[in-house]
Amino acid sequence: MSLLVIGTVAFDAIETPFGKTDKIIGGAATYASIAASYFTDNINLVSVVGDDFPKEAINNINEHGINTQGLQVKKGEKSFFWSGRYHNDMNTRDTLATELNVLLEFDPVIPDEYQDCEFLMLGNLSPAVQMTVMDRIVRRPKLVVLDTMNFWMDSAWDDLIKAISRVDVLTINDAEARQLANEYSLVKAAQKILSMGPKYLIIKKGEHGALLFNKEQVFFAPALPLEDVFDPTGAGDTFAGGFIGYLARTRDISFDNMKRGIIFGSAMASFCVEKFGTERLIELNTDEVDERVQEFIDLVQFDITLVK
Ligand code: AMP
């Protein structure tokens, strides 16, 4: 049994009201695989970087038990670069630059030893590549989760719709759900998106928590109210990594277990935002994760007697 994570491994430059970074290590697959590593072993990564990407950053990923045999390093090419600026509310941001670089010609190769993939995280990347990866995995995984963003809705709509139709769980944020469904109401948007193929939809709402839908049920999990949010970059990918990592650990893909997965994902995301980039995420231990999950339990637990 293994978890395969694909997505960008990247350089990011981030501006928040609290500060600004030069190029730091980021990327959807970086955040998702590291978050998942706190829950499960046997994590395999497929992605691509240029030879400008530091070896020690790859070592850091390996130190979390993540196999990077499927991470291609392209000689003479530049890694994917993304830059963004957060508004004062820290919930919304402007993308300042997206340089696809090495991603433009990316042909994902799945090493033979990755073929026992039971859980597949199609992290944020071009939908064409997400589909190629699905095509190249011989046996369909038990669960396929896809994360994407507005960039691909704007630039690769048709491919994205095809990719979404093939997965079990789609994770997107509220603005992206509205864009994808062309509906303002998230409940209506969710039903429309579920009719496009996925059995489950997770709508991430930043500091306002996350919603899990299937055709009959809905579940809501809050985000932990934090005193300081330093840098929200990667929170969505970290959430998705924690979610699928927990499902891979428990090997239970029921709606009830997905609810628990959402709490673990939200706990991981709450760590991610506490420092710039992956700084906080890479230094955690499982006691801290459990303490954080306990805070979630305490936050939402209440006894109540109904009126009638
Ligand atoms: P999030 O804050 O969860 O949306 O994720 C931000 C991360 O996604 C950053 O580390 C970026 O490198 C990466 N990213 C930004 N834009 C894209 C894109 N168009 N495709 C794939 N990854 C991206």
Each residue of 106-125: pLDDT tens digit? 999 999 999 999 999 999 99
Ligand 1 geometric centre to CA of 151 (Å): 9
Q: Is residue 18 part of a domain?
A: yes
What does the pLDDT average to over 275-298?
97
Rounded CA-CA distance 134/162 in Å is: 12
Q: Which pLDDT score is estimated for 91?
A: 85
Question: How much distance in Å is there from the Cα of 109 to the middle of ligand 1?
Answer: 21
Q: Is residue 222 part of a domain?
A: yes
The owner of tokens 């990667």 is: 234
Mean pLDDT, rounded, of the chain: 97
Q: What range does the domain containing 23 cover?
A: 2-300
Strands (E), 222-298: none
Q: Which atom of ligand 1 is nearest to the CA of 232?
A: 2
Cα 171 to its chain centre, rounded Å, is 8
What does the pLDDT look like over 233-264, one tens digit per residue? 999 999 999 999 999 999 999 999 999 999 99
List pLDDT tens digits, range 50-91. 999 999 999 999 999 999 999 999 999 999 999 999 999 888
Rounded Cα–Cα distance for residues 12 and 28 (Å): 11
pLDDT value, residue 232: 95
The count of residues in the chain is 308
Judge whether 124 lies within some domain: yes
**What pLDDT, on the 0 to 100 scale, is given for residue 308?**
87
Quote the pLDDT of residue 279.
96
Among residues 86, 113, 143, the alpha carbon closest in space to that of 257 is found at: 143
- Domain assignment of residue 307, yes or no: no
Cβ neighbours of 99 (radius 10 Å): 15
Distance 106 CA to ligand 1 centre (A): 16
Taking the CA atoms of the chain, what radius of gyration do you get in angstroms? 18
Host H or E run for residue 203: strand 200-204
Q: What is the pLDDT of residues 207-236, one digit of tens each?
A: 999 999 999 999 999 999 999 899 999 999
CATH number of the domain residue 240 falls in: 3.40.1190.20
CA distance 96 to 227: 27
Say whether pLDDT at 18 is over 90.
no
The pair of structure tokens assigned to 91 is 């919930």
Residue 1 confidence (pLDDT) above 90: no
- Tell which one of 12, 49, 82, 102 to mutate to probe ligand 1, the residue whose CB is within 8 A of the most ligand atoms: 82
Is pLDDT of 33 > 90?
yes
Q: Is residue 79 part of a domain?
A: yes
What is the reported pLDDT for 217?
97
Compute the distance between CA of residue 119 and CA of residue 141 in angstroms, rounded to an integer. Answer: 6
Domain count, the chain: 1
Q: Residue 233 C-alpha to ligand 1 middle, in angstroms?
A: 8
In a domain, 305, yes or no: no
- In this prediction, residue 199 carries a pLDDT of 98
Separation of alpha carbons 37 and 21, rounded Å: 26
- Kindly state whether residue 308 falls inside one of the protein's structural domains: no
Whether residue 34 is contained in a domain is answered as yes
The amino acid present at 42, given as its one-letter code, is: N
User: To test ligand 1's pocket by mutation, which of 147, 149, 266 has the most ligand atoms within 8 angstroms of CB?
Assistant: 149
- 41-76 burial, b for 16+ CB within 10 Å, e for fewer? ebbbbbbbbbebbeeebbebbeeeebbbebbbbbee
